[in-house]
Amino acid sequence: MCGIIACAGVKDAARVLYGGLQDLEYRGYDSAGISVLSGGKIHTVKRAGRVGAIAQAAAGLGGSCGIGHTRWATHGRPSDANAHPHVCGRFSVVHNGIIENYAELKKELACMGCTFFSQTDSEVVPQLLERYYAEYNDLKQAVLSCVSRLKGAFALAILCEGEEGFVAVKYRNPIIVGTGGGAVYAASDMPALSGLAENVAVLKDGQIAFARGGKISFCDFEGAAASLTFSPLPAAAKSVRLGGFPHYMIKEINEIPAAVKNTAAAFEGEDVARTIARAAKKRGFTSVMMCGCGTAYHSALAAAYYGEELLGMPVRVETAGEFRYRKMAVGADTLFVAVSQSGETADTVEAARAAKQAGATVAAVTNVPYSALTGVADFVVPVRAGTEICVAATKSYCGQIAALAMFFAALKGAGEYRSVLSAVKGAEALCAQTISRTVAEDVARACASSSGVYFIGRGIDYPVALEGSLKLKEVSYVPGEGYPAGELKHGTIALIDSGTLAVAVITQCGLAEKTASAVEQICARGGRAAVVCAEGCAPAHLRERAEFLIEVPACKSCLSPLVSVIPLQLIAYRTAVILGRDPDKPRNLAKSVTVE
């Protein structure tokens, strides 16, 4: 959450920064701001609202270096005053993360006569920098002294009057630096550097970058010199545009077949299966623990059904935010699988660290190979969904399902792995077929007019129901929940009436009659019902009772969640559009949640 961009040595810093903020807006869009250094002085514009709110004011700024920020609020409501950058004396700062000890620092600084103008935790940083610079008259020492006082997770970009350049700081929040054309850049994510940087490097935790005069140097938080290896900007990080689609959400749904294909290719090309098999043989796992947040939790939950049946050992799934604060039986005989689209989700990264400290072997399932999670993990299970801009995950979920299926198959052995790899390759066409033939409009209109929508499923269809409910709530704000079909009658059925809609997911023919019974109970109480089912699974009486029926191609059970979820994604998208919501930037949300 929150997007940071910085540049030095460019012709028009404001233009570069504004473009970078547009590319980073999926990380937060409560407010935005830019500071540039011109004539030795800092000039700042910032506004509540989306990046476009600063367009006119930013166009009037000059200068060859600067910093920018697009915000997802954690401390303080969205407002002009709470927008970044925050300025104090000769310093301007943008911040991503949480300063956990900001209250005590703020009290200390206030006692020293400092005046605060915002409700944010971030404002203590420029105040500290100003104090330490006055003491040492040295930028590096001021930065080192400042970061030594901060607790929490933070990425910072800093401007200082009289210093033609910027400083970038990383601690448990991402910062990537880049060089190209004699200029130096920093950003929260690679896409913002596309078209600017030719070569990039990812700052490590506890590192500081100083960009001056077209050059960049590094040190650690103790001031000792450090070095980083730069490499060409990855092709996958190239800036993404809509390409004729009205929204990124529908564009990315249409990219699901490619995400599945590329994920399968990564397993073949990187020999991931052999790495997984070696790790399993070396440690002799007796259990698997999985974690994730939101959509990643749902993909882990779906994969666990297959993994437990296949391996004949316990496969537990926990939300990452809960795992850290429970005493769980995780040790040297546990394989811990952390799932995160960005690899920067704070709860998931910290859960992986905790599991590793307990002796577990950690596998990272992520779409971003240079992330914090990959730095923690013992090995990486690649998802190759490509850059995902829409806040609501779609193609990355399907990539995770494919990767996790191949992961568990590799743990089982070569024969199962070859079978599943072949099925994943075939799923590319099944996903394309599902996208092309799904007509979601009527169901979406029913959702848009409903007081609540309840998604149900049994077995491996239950996590898909959870994901369908999450998607609808995220982008359309229509309330509802996902339930195991058998649980509906244990309380929630009290909410069913003519104003509600139930969406049942049925891809397991052996459980079809059980879920159909739940649909019958809904209809008997005046509720409306829609069914998403695999071809050949819907009982005849269900076809008569359901108001809406969407069929998807049948496939291998472990891959059914990546096919059956597509109609639910399309329903959520169309519902948002019908209600006039922006599906790409839902209120109160951000793409990468880098705070707990």
Domain boundaries, the chain: 3-234, 247-435, 438-583
Measured distance CA(448)–CA(579) in Å, rounded? 7
Neighbours of 6 (CB within 10 A): 31
Query: Angle, to 10 degrees, between the axis of helix 139-147 and the axis of helix 124-136?
Result: 130
Taking 70 as the pLDDT cut, the residues of the chain under it are 1, 236-239, 590-596
| CATH class of the domain defined by 3-234 | alpha beta
- Active-site pick, 106, 251, 395, 591: 591
Measured distance CA(507)–CA(520) in Å, rounded? 18
Measured distance CA(481)–CA(470) in Å, rounded? 8
Q: Is 9 helix (H, G, I), strand (E, B) or coil?
A: coil
What secondary structure does DSSP assign to 305-355, as a single string? HHHHHHHSS-EEEEEHHHHTTS----STTEEEEEEESSS--HHHHHHHHHH
- Those residues with Cβ within 8 angstroms of residue 344's Cβ, 6 or more apart along the chain or in another chain: 173, 174, 368, 371, 372, 373, 592, 594
- Active-site pick, 2, 146, 390, 558: 2
Measured distance CA(381)–CA(163) in Å, rounded? 43
The answer to whether 369 and 235 have CB atoms below 8 angstroms apart is no
Matching fold, domains 3-234 and 247-435: no
Burial of 137 (0-12, 13-18, 19+ CB in 10 A): exposed
Measured distance CA(365)–CA(307) in Å, rounded? 15
CA 550 vs CA 434, 449, 450, 453: distances in Å: 10, 19, 19, 17
pLDDT tens string 521-575: 888 888 899 999 999 887 878 777 888 999 999 999 999 999 999 999 999 999 9
Measured distance CA(458)–CA(533) in Å, rounded? 12
Q: What's the pTM?
A: 0.87
CA angle, 126 then 179 then 139, to 5° = 30
The answer to whether 392 and 474 have CB atoms below 8 angstroms apart is yes
**Residues pairing with 97 in the sheet:** 154
| CATH class of the domain defined by 247-435 | alpha beta
pLDDT tens string 312-362: 999 999 999 898 787 777 888 999 999 999 888 889 999 999 999 999 999
CA 194 vs CA 186, 191, 304, 438: distances in Å: 12, 5, 37, 35
Please say whether the structural domain 438-583 has been given the CATH code 3.40.50.300.
no
Measured distance CA(192)–CA(184) in Å, rounded? 13
Active site residue 88: no
Active site residue 591: yes
The DSSP letter of residue 363 is E
Measured distance CA(63)–CA(301) in Å, rounded? 51
What secondary structure does DSSP assign to 217-240, as a single string? EEEETTS-EE----EEPPGGGS--
Measured distance CA(189)–CA(421) in Å, rounded? 31
H or E, element range at 429: helix 414-437
User: What residue type is 460 in one-letter code?
Assistant: I
